[in-house]
Amino acid sequence: MQGSANLNLMIKAARKAGRSLVKDFREVENLQVSAKGPGDFVTKADREAERIIRDELMGGRPTYGWLGEETGETAGQDPTRRWIVDPLDGTTNFLHGLPHWAVSIALEHKGEIVSAVVYDPAKDEMFWAEKGAGAWMNESRIRVSGRRHMIEAIFATGVPFGGRGTLPATLQDLARLMPVCAGVRRWGSAALDLAYVAAGRYDGYWERGIQAWDMAAGLLLVREAGGFVGAVRTGDDPMEKGAVLAGNGALYEPFAKVIRGE
Ligand code: LIP
């Protein structure tokens, strides 16, 4: 499968940032035993990854706009196109030496995500999609799962940490969902949670209180893999509200009903 020139640029940027992050991740594993811990080091690794991605993408397409987790928003000369980048999604995992984190890059055109890359360098899994061209992992086409019964399904979420206001709502979601499904996972990277729904590994995913850069690429992956995405509240825009719900075609509605308490 041949991607567009933009997609190839995104893949190149993700691989380059991934190489830098893998090098830093090895160092983080060593720093776990030090008294000070790897906190400052990880902040630097995260910023450096965003610098690498920005240099690649803005070097190749200088007129596009930019929204990055570390450097914020910059309007482009071309107001219709914007990169949306999370250089390190799953920062807490990275900080603790857990090999489950990703680089997430999306290209938005006229308010719609048209190209997406979620790269997991630790497992060398490159998830990518383009509008109308399907979703892929490395060289293989991926599709959402075919499960049709809630009781067989596994769902992923993020449980808010550090006193975030969305904790009570998430605990209520869990109380409703856990008795009617096969399990819930909380692995700590929204971008990979969505990529795993696209790859049929999870049957669905929801999370409140996340940012546009955590989900932008993943949303297109799920859609192009044949799944549905929406917001936790019916009719909302997930990127605007920071509350996302995704699932395969058969389970999206019943799953959404449980989460919405309907
Ligand atoms: C993180 C997510 C994680 C979520 C956190 C946070 P970061 O992104 O992907 O799954 O639960 O709220 O947003 O900060 O590592 O880029």
Residue 193 burial (CB count, 10 A): 34
Whether ligand 1 lies within 6 angstroms of the CB of 86 is answered as yes
Whether ligand 1 lies within 6 angstroms of the CB of 214 is answered as yes
pTM of the predicted structure, to 2 decimals: 0.96
CA distance 179 to 134: 34
Could you tell me which of 199, 208, 261, 254 has the C-alpha nearest to residue 227? 199
Residue 234 burial (CB count, 10 A): 10
Q: What is the pLDDT of residue 160?
A: 86
Q: Which residue's CA lies nearest to atom 8 of ligand 1?
A: 89
What is the per-residue pLDDT across 41-83, written as a single tens digit (0 to 9) for each? 888 999 999 999 999 999 999 999 999 999 999 999 999 999 9
Q: What is the pLDDT of residue 111?
A: 96
Instruction: Report the pLDDT averaged over residues 10-31.
Output: 94
Share of the chain above pLDDT 70, in %: 99
Q: What is the pLDDT of residue 108?
A: 98
Q: Which domains does the chain have, with CATH numbers?
A: 5-142 (3.30.540.10), 150-260 (3.40.190.80)
Q: Which ligand 1 atom sits closest to the C-alpha of 92?
A: 15
| Angle value at C-alpha 118, between 115 and 121, nearest 5 degrees | 145
Q: Which residue's CA lies nearest to atom 13 of ligand 1?
A: 210
Contact predicate 10/115, CB 8 Å: yes
Q: Which residue's CA lies nearest to atom 16 of ligand 1?
A: 89
Q: What is the pLDDT of residue 1?
A: 59
What is the per-residue pLDDT across 151-175, written as a single tens digit (0 to 9) for each? 999 999 999 877 778 899 999 999 9
Q: Which ligand 1 atom sits closest to the C-alpha of 192?
A: 9
Instruction: Report the pLDDT averaged over residues 134-149.
Output: 98
At residue 223, does pLDDT exceed 90?
Answer: yes
Lowest mean pLDDT among 108-122, 156-170, 207-221, 241-255: 156-170
Q: What is the pLDDT of residue 151?
A: 98
